[in-house]
Structure 1
Amino acid sequence: MTLRDATADDLDAIMAIEHRSFPTDAWSAATMAAELSSPHGRYLVDEHDGVIIGYGGVRALHGSADADIQTIAFLPEHRGNGRGRALLRVLLLTAADRGAREVFLEVRADNPSAEGLYLAEGFEELARRPNYYQPDNVDAIVMRLRVRASSASTITAEETKA
């Protein structure tokens, strides 16, 4: 597993995964490009044999008490083997390093694998947003993780390797 910071040069590969992962509600290339260049976030890509197979991002303003996992997606053939968990942990480290005490996210109610990952990593369900994901009319599950001061120091680089 090779995680590295995403760059503007990665946009086409990220968008290909975005459209495969979220065919009906994918972000636009312009939105993703803005996310990749924002100083308030950190986006990572996962490479396998020199090919980008996944990506994820967190919006975490320096000094803010909260952060948001914006997105995590992998090519279908690379799901279910710990890569998403490793990527999530690095994003959580980023949020903690920037001062976040809580991390929020929304996950599609029809994605039990992602919901299970977040629950296993300590997120709790706060609420549901009915019909949030359009045009599919799928609810969003709003989740939160309380970040303990020691959390960042307990997730080491070694633990993020799959």
Structure 2
Amino acid sequence: MTTIRLRKARAEDLDTLVNLEFSVFPGDRISRRSWRDLLKSPSALVTVATVGDIVAGCTVVLLNKRTAIARLYSIAVAPEARKQGVARLLLDVVMLAAAETGACLLRLETRFDNLQAQRLFIHLGFKPFKRIPAYYEDGAEAIRYQRMISDDEIHARPESKSCHLN
């Protein structure tokens, strides 16, 4: 059985994150400069999943304590690490992190033709709510999903409060 460990990304992960992005996405990649900024940003949580010493995946979630909405900016799983539960584990951590900052809703976008990701998002309780034409640099459409943060996730945060979205 494969042991997947999660940790907060560090500055020394920069090259690995850039390489992972290039191995997973044909376009619309996070640039090296943007990765550097995300790793330093107090409103971005970059999490890596490792299997042994290898980075198998990562997520970037944008958190803002002034809003009840968190955004999953990116999720990437190395091709050789797929179908091992890496994405699921990363998304579980994203949902808890969002709850800890007071978010009640998690949003994300995915390509209309990324059916594998869409199946996972739906399985985890995300609902599609908007289509965005020509969202990606190659002109592909995006589907925007959202998921309410569950009561269990909300109560896991230090100062539990009810969530009301306008």
User: Normalization by structure 1: what TM-score?
Assistant: 0.89
SS in 1 for 2:29: coil
Write the distance in 2 (CA, Å) between the matches of 1:35 and 1:82: 25
SS in 1 for 2:125: coil
Write the distance in 1 (CA, Å) between the matches of 2:147 and 2:122: 9
Given the alignment of the two structures, is residue 74 of structure 1 paired with residue 77 of structure 2, yes or no? yes
Q: Tell me the equivalent position of 2:159.
A: none
Instruction: Verify the 8 A CA contact 1:107 1:115 in the aligned structure 2.
Output: yes
Percent of residue pairs identical = 33
* Superimposed CA distance per residue, residues 72-106 of structure 1 (whole angstroms, 9 cap, x where no aligned partner): 10110111221100100101100001000111100
* Superimposed CA distance per residue, residues 34-53 of structure 1 (whole angstroms, 9 cap, x where no aligned partner): 11111012111111121112
Instruction: Verify the 8 A CA contact 1:63 1:98 in the aligned structure 2.
Output: no
Deviates more, 1:142-151 or 1:86-95: 142-151
Structure-2 change in CA distance of 1:14 and 1:129 (3 Å): same
User: Normalization by structure 2: what TM-score?
Assistant: 0.87
- Return 5+ residue gaps in structure 1 as ranges: 155-162
User: Aligned residues, how many?
Assistant: 153
Q: Tell me the equivalent position of 1:149.
A: 151
SS in 2 for 1:132: coil
* Superimposed CA distance per residue, residues 102-159 of structure 1 (whole angstroms, 9 cap, x where no aligned partner): 111001111111111111111100111111111x2211100111113333458xxxxx
**Over 6 Å off, 4+ runs:** none
Q: 2:142 aligns with which of 140, 143, 150?
A: 140
- Return 5+ residue gaps in structure 2 as ranges: 157-166
